[in-house]
Structure 1
């Protein structure tokens, strides 16, 4: 059941790391979540996602640190730990800094790799992220600029990297089978994947019309919007001076339960039905955030879409966690949607043990 006394705009307006981030406020993760979302100590809500937990159980797991292998993210395909088994604090902070709103991601990725020492965890991570990065677009990724962007999920995700000794995915992350208790709490309060300033900028740019003086903004169809965090952050995104106000439409059938709802106007409809009733989404941008890999969801939605731009936020390795069980979404699109091409694949903040990215597919010019 969603929290009834939660005000998304109020939290965004009062958010500071000093107030709500355990890394800065001297409080525990449990205390910080309860304070941010006005959850009383008597509340024992069970968070379900890859297992079950409560805030109290999650805090005990956090306090246990490496007990029961809870921080064993870096291993080979046989679960043998790397040497060293855990990254250094500098490696962790270097990874988290990739997603600062002030950086140019391509340049920062290059610097991240160039400054990595050979045969370190960071070297493997940087090679992996650089190898997966793909960009043939111009102007979609924001340039380096001194900017500030409030993003509660990114803030708490950064804390989780420090807490769980996570410095980013590497090739063997595809074999990781464990997760941490923090993950279900994040899923319920924010969603399955963190939107960065760069990711929101990409979507906002794709939504802008070719002829701003004559055409309306392209609606963003957030199909499978869940609790609406991405829709909320897109609506709150500080648009550049020449950008038109975004038209973001959260669409979800409501079958999944979330503790928190970030938007009040979710369209309760399944994606195929919505597209069929709206000209296939022609003239729109399709946004799929962590599309489910089960239930034959992703393929039919992608095939039903008649617009020109598709954005998918999900897994970029072969663990089958999003979109498709047996392949990565870009592999499927290359084979099944030949009228589209991959124009951007860039890393997103990955929760410990995951490997996430933002994919952009654009219709090929005729």
Structure 2
């Protein structure tokens, strides 16, 4: 896990180069035939990437984006009305039967199917109209790391090209070096503080919500630590009642309009006596986790997660776990 997460910057650079022409062709098609809406379909870490994609598509393109429930197609055998939609499915292996089935349904319904996959000859890739290979290379640790970051990067590259936003397009080129810088950040205070923890919240918002979801999953699968992810807005609607002394919180703040609210929630929880770790670009303070420089808010979640992966690997080892082989889990989960 450590070696694979460390390679994320190189993997993303490789992906950008390999996919440039494919992304250009897809963006041109989408300009000529704009979709009525976007639907994402994924599970696990890939679904957290899809959460990022939703906020990216809606904030940068203004296109309503919904998450498909795979069981609707695979178990209930319902065929949603997807004519004119862009159907984006994300899967490292491209083998999960329910994702394959939903892609088949979407294509038959008239959607343009885009598959983000690390295995480009997988069943899912064979169905898709457009395949964006993740080019993460072999990933043997059960916990997805570089493939997750490559999924976000593929969504980012497509959105930058599709939106014709010069600032975003130029920012994309800074991502590989940003990921390398993020890996060098020292989050050891988080590791030391959670060695004996039993529960925690991870909060984020907007473009950073998917990062919070991914962090909560990694705490569970690699550290045996129960964690729940919440929007820093939604956490106020009930869940915050249990936060107090001895209940840790990790907060990921964005460098955009959602950032102040997330920082305020973190400070409120700290005032209650809760142990709080805050990652917030541009926010000063000795109690703030260091972050790599982000040239655009859309890059910030990827940089935050890269730093987090290094820390959670160390936490797993400190808690006596093997981060590469979590109990009861397999690298490929084939749900139907």
What range describes the TM-score normalised by the shorter chain of this pair?
Answer: 0.3 to 0.5
Q: What TM-score comes out, normalization by structure 1 length?
A: 0.34
Is the helix fraction higher in 1 or 2?
Answer: 2
Return the structure number with greater relative CO, CA threshold 8 A, min gap 6.
2
